[in-house]
Amino acid sequence: MSKILRVDLTSGRSEATEANAAEARMGGRGLIAAILGAEVDPAADPLGPENVLVLATGLLAGTSVPNSGRLSVGGKSPLTGGIKEANSGGTAARRLAGLGMKAVAFSGAAPELSLVHITSEGTDIRPAPQLAGLGTYETTARLREEYGERAGIVCIGPAGEMQLKAAAVIVSSPDGRPRSASRGGLGAVMGAKNIKAVVVDDTGGPGVAVAHPEALKAATSTYSEAIRAHGFAQGLGAMGTGMLINVANSMGCLATKSYSAGSFDSAEAISGEEMHGRMTSRPNAQTSHRCMAGCLINCSQVYTDEQGEEITSGFEFESLTLLGANCAISDLDQVARLDRLCDDLGLDTIETGAALGVAMEGGMLPWGDGAAAIALLNGLPAGAANSLLIGNGCVATGQALDVERIPAVKGQSLAAWEPRVLKGTGVTYATSPMGADHTCGNALPSPNLPEYNPSSAEGQAQISQFLQSFFAGIDTLGLCLFAAIPSLDDPSFQDTLAQAVTAVTGEPTGEGYLIALGAEVVRAEKAFNRAAGFTAADDRLPAFMAVEALPPSGNVFDVSEADLDSVFAD
């Protein structure tokens, strides 16, 4: 797995070449940083032909290592104006790996809406007017019928075609359900390049070359057992990530009513426990579902209505919180329908939920009115002005409505974890090159670190820098972040992952490999952002969080600017 496929959409030419030395030692998020750093002017227009859209596999993609099939999607973000990586489960990464490809890099722009078909025989770019305006569910269904259920499909919905800044990239799961590389508006980048879908079929491909098969088998066995034995992974398998709703609510760190409170009176009504109870009694529901081959956790699900009609799948904590508690919506079925709409339109549920909360604060629609929120999103394909506003994210919505409290960093909304309680997470929101992104380093209390106080103003910069390095390394390997938790709790498993990388590539990794790798990636991303014009002033949380006490804790975000500036300081 050593080739980079470069596709010039303007000319229609494509070429697969061997990765250079810098590219060969990276995968996933790290490979995106390497490609963008070398090939994209940091001052480029994110929606212009000079931007490069990258689909990258992790260093462990296509191997026996569990939960290693994440696809990283990257480019310069139209939402933040900086470098961006978002990743997703699904089948596409495994299919690309099966073709011996580390990444596909799209430059230029196609003259009309197009489909890119990648196989062992080559790359075909063809017009796709028949897919124009379709939602991602219908797009995926049609392409699976035409190209077979084995194909990995990456597509956008109407939001991406309209180049809205909250547009997501949707990746098909093994059974064709949508999984989302959500954050940063990369669906708009795909739309600007006139790519409706990418279809990947690895039939006849060379597969993944493994330098030391027996060593990989041993590392896979060790790490698989670590996942199966971990209590958090077991809980996710039983209840899904919705189990975190009541946990976060009890801690007072559940984003509620546009980040004006840390607990939601109706949290139980949108909790994982409530969802699980409904699914066990509703026809055709599945309480356990996997988004990729080789997953040992199965934290996804299929959520149906009372008649057994599927509403949504992959109904997760962040979506439950941002579309639910953050908008004061307590009807679980309404939240599920909002989740499905976001997936079908190709929108980031986090950014959309934050924008809806800002819209409610600004008086566009009433607090807690799920039906009004559904109607608002339904107006997007027809170009309704307020719908388009939501589709451009919470900053655009707040500015248009003159709302002062806009919960965003670098143009991207905060996730579901309140940073006035989880102050290490707040440091990550503020200083990550990705904008406010919990997956870059969510600092939660842990029994393995009993002395850590997440609400203290002190020591958070160090925790955040470590976690940012750790998760950037995990994203570079292509591993699901939930499957990474055992190696966070027990560093010996970081060595196991390093051994797996060596077994695949044949290259030594060295002591402390994972953390060093991740730190290198973050520094490369921050260098790109600095060249794009970012300064220390951009590494700050919204001003209201420093002065507005959060109920019920009464906390404010009081980590010093000096500590914020110390994170990955040169």
Question: Can you give the three-state secondary structure of 174-186, one letter per residue?
Answer: CCCCEEEECCCCH
CA distance 460 to 336: 35
Beta strands in 339-460, from DSSP E residues, in sequence order: 408-409, 412-413
Token digits of residue 448: 């393995």
Task: With a cut of 90, say whether residue 448 has pLDDT above it.
Answer: no
Where along the chain do its domains lie? 3-200
Q: What is the structure's pLDDT at 20?
A: 94
Instruction: State the CB neighbour count (10 A cutoff) for residue 558.
Output: 15
Q: What angle do CA 515, 516, 517 make, to 5 degrees?
A: 90
pLDDT of residue 386: 98
Q: Token pair for residue 160?
A: 């991406």
C-alpha of 428 from chain center: 15
Tokens encoding 137: 């569910």
What value does the mean pLDDT take over residues 159-180? 97
Q: Looking at the predicted structure, is the pLDDT value of residue 1 above 70?
A: no
pLDDT, tens only, 193-229: 999 999 999 999 999 999 999 999 999 999 999 999 9
DSSP 76: E
Mean pLDDT, residues 431-440: 97
Sorted by sequence, the CB contacts under 8 Å of residue 53 that are 6+ apart come out as 73, 74, 75, 105, 106, 186, 189, 190, 193, 195
Neighbours of 444 (CB within 10 A): 18
Report, as an integer, the average pLDDT of 165-192: 97
Q: What is the separation, in whole angstroms, between the first and last Cα of the chain?
A: 34
CA distance 153 to 478: 18
Instruction: Please name the amino acid found at residue 225.
Output: E
* Cα–Cα distance for residue pair 51/278, rounded to 1 Å: 45
Of the pLDDT bands very low, low, confident and very high (cuts 50, 70, 90), residue 32 is very high
pLDDT tens digits along 324-364 = 999 999 999 999 999 999 999 999 999 999 999 999 999 99
- Three-state secondary structure along 261-281? ECCCCCHHHHCHHHHHHHHHH
SS3 for 194? coil
**What is the signed CA dihedral for 322, 325, 330, 333, rounded to 10 degrees?**
20
Q: What percent of the chain has pLDDT over 90?
A: 98
pLDDT of res. 570:
72
What span, in angstroms and rounded, lies between the C-alpha atoms of 116 and 197? 6
Question: Per this entry, what is the length of the chain?
Answer: 570
Find out whether 342 and 355 touch, Cβ atoms under 8 Å.
no
- 446 pLDDT band, cuts 50/70/90, is confident
Question: Can you tell me the mean pLDDT for 57-64?
Answer: 97
Rounded Cα distance, 215 and 68, in Å: 17
Could you give the CA distance from residue 106 to residue 124 in angstroms, rounded to a whole number?
13
The CA-CA-CA angle for residues 323, 332, 317, to 5°, reads 50
Residue 108: how many other CB atoms lie within 10 Å = 19
Q: Using CA of residue 261, residue 264, residue 270, residue 272, what is the dihedral sign? A: positive
* Euclidean distance between CA atoms 87 and 167, whole angstroms: 14
Sequence-ordered list of residues with C-beta below 8 angstroms from that of 230, at least 6 positions apart, any chain = 485, 486, 489
* Other beta carbons within 10 Å of 282: 17
The angle, 0 to 180 degrees and rounded to 10, between the axes of the packed helices 332-345 and 136-147 is 60
Q: What is the mean pLDDT of the chain?
A: 97
| Contact call for residues 79 and 165 (beta carbons, < 8 A) | yes
| Distance from chain centroid for Cα 189 | 15
Look at the pTM and tell me if it is higher than 0.95: yes
Asked if residue 123 has pLDDT above 70, the reply is yes
Q: Is 376 helix (H, G, I), strand (E, B) or coil?
A: helix
* pLDDT of 441: 97
Q: What is the pLDDT of residues 268-295, one digit of tens each?
A: 999 999 999 999 999 999 999 999 999 9
Nearest Cα residue to 275 out of 232, 316, 308: 316
Check: CATH 3.30.70.270 for 3-200? no
One-letter amino acid at 499 equals Q
Within 8 A by CB and 6+ apart from 535, the residues are none
Helix (H/G/I), strand (E/B), else coil: 373? helix
pLDDT value at position 449? 87
Q: Which pLDDT score, from 0 to 100, does residue 2 have? A: 84
pLDDT of residue 412: 98
**421 vs 450 pLDDT, higher one:** 421
Reported as a pLDDT band with limits 50, 70 and 90, residue 447 is confident
Contact between residue 41 and residue 75 where contact means Cβ atoms under 8 Å apart: no
Residue 530 CB burial class (10 angstroms; 0-12, 13-18, ≥19):
middle
